[in-house]
A and B are shown apart, each in its own frame.
Chain A
Amino acid sequence: MTPARGEPEALVGPDAVLRALADPHRRQILRLVQHSELPAGQIAAHFDLTQQAVSQHLTVLKRAGLLAERRDGTRRLYSLRSESLEPLRTLLDEFWPDALARLKQSVERAHPRTERRRRT
């Protein structure tokens, strides 16, 4: 078995991050580790879930690049990689421009103007 490292796997992007964030348990895990590094057992103690379920959540978060994992003896410590949220910030910034572009399309399709009246 290869040793776990702090680096996330290569497949990271807004989709993976959003899927990871779509679950309330996983959001709570991120809250727990946003300021302090915690071992898996201590994270699991906050939930009414099996160790296995918590471990699966940790794996999803790790794969999305949201969690850094570090070995300390036999323990694995987890912490938030806040830089992984930057693509989402961009996505949020694009939400309204995208929505307004659809608004424009919708209005102009329903109320077409003739070619010669179009402004430049």
Chain B
Amino acid sequence: MINASVRIAAPPDVVFPYFTDPHLMVTWIGERADLDARPGGTFAIDFGATAARGSYVVVEPPHRLVFTWGVPHDDALLPGSSTVEVELVSDGDDTIVNLSHRDLPPAREPSHREGWDGCLAALVGAARGAR
């Protein structure tokens, strides 16, 4: 599981749409986004040659958001196979964003081929997205 947090000098209702509006999403992650922010709705982001695909699971503006995350054509990290949970906590005029990404295939000592390939796909996708 990967955890990350950041403090942003804006209230949650300002930050929340950055996870649901394609135009705002691409200002910080990916190059193209196709988002339908309601439970079961599409979550799709393209990063160069790879892509993240999943769907929204929980959409509770402006404090909580859960979506699934996977990579098309990869046996193990198939769309929907890992989960990203985002919490937007008010702190004065600021927002603390707590994000956790769980159910990722283990990066080391993969026990089966699916885990291995998904891991590689995730790494390649992540690295591309981070550029």
Residues of A at under 8 Å CB distance from B?
A: 14, 18, 21-22, 27, 30-31, 34, 82, 85-86, 88-89, 91-108, 110-111, 113, 117-119
> Quick one: CB contact mask for B40-63 with A, threshold 8 Å, 1 for yes?
000000000100000000000000
- Which chain B residues lie closer than 8 Å to A91 at the CB level? 123, 126-127, 130
The answer to whether A14 touches B8, judged by C-beta atoms less than 8 angstroms apart, is no
The answer to whether A102 touches B29, judged by C-beta atoms less than 8 angstroms apart, is yes
Residue among A96, A105, A117 with the highest chain B CB neighbour number at 10 A: A96
- Give A100 to B129 CA distance when docked, in angstroms: 12
Known: A88-B127, A97-B4. A103 touches B120 (CB 8 A): no
- Which chain B residues lie closer than 8 Å to A99 at the CB level? 4, 28-29, 129-130
The answer to whether A103 touches B8, judged by C-beta atoms less than 8 angstroms apart, is yes
The answer to whether A27 touches B99, judged by C-beta atoms less than 8 angstroms apart, is no
Residue of B nearest to A31 (CB): B113
- Give A102 to B113 CA distance when docked, in angstroms: 34
- Give A70 to B24 CA distance when docked, in angstroms: 51
Known: A91-B123, A103-B18, A108-B9. A82 touches B4 (CB 8 A): no
- Give A108 to B94 CA distance when docked, in angstroms: 11
> Quick one: CB contact mask for B58-87 with A, threshold 8 Å, 1 for yes?
000000000000000000000000000000
Residue among A85, A103, A113 with the highest chain B CB neighbour number at 10 A: A103
The answer to whether B107 touches A85, judged by C-beta atoms less than 8 angstroms apart, is yes
The contact sample of 20 A-B pairs, CB cut-off 8 A, is A14-B127, A18-B124, A30-B116, A30-B120, A34-B110, A85-B107, A85-B123, A89-B107, A92-B107, A92-B126, A94-B130, A95-B127, A96-B2, A96-B3, A100-B6, A103-B6, A105-B28, A107-B10, A108-B9, A110-B27
Q: How far is the CB of B55 from chain A (nearest CB, A)?
A: 19
- Give A65 to B5 CA distance when docked, in angstroms: 33
- Give A97 to B127 CA distance when docked, in angstroms: 13
Known: A93-B2, A101-B6. A106 touches B18 (CB 8 A): yes
Residue of B nearest to A97 (CB): B4
Q: How far is the CB of A111 from chain B (nearest CB, A)?
A: 5
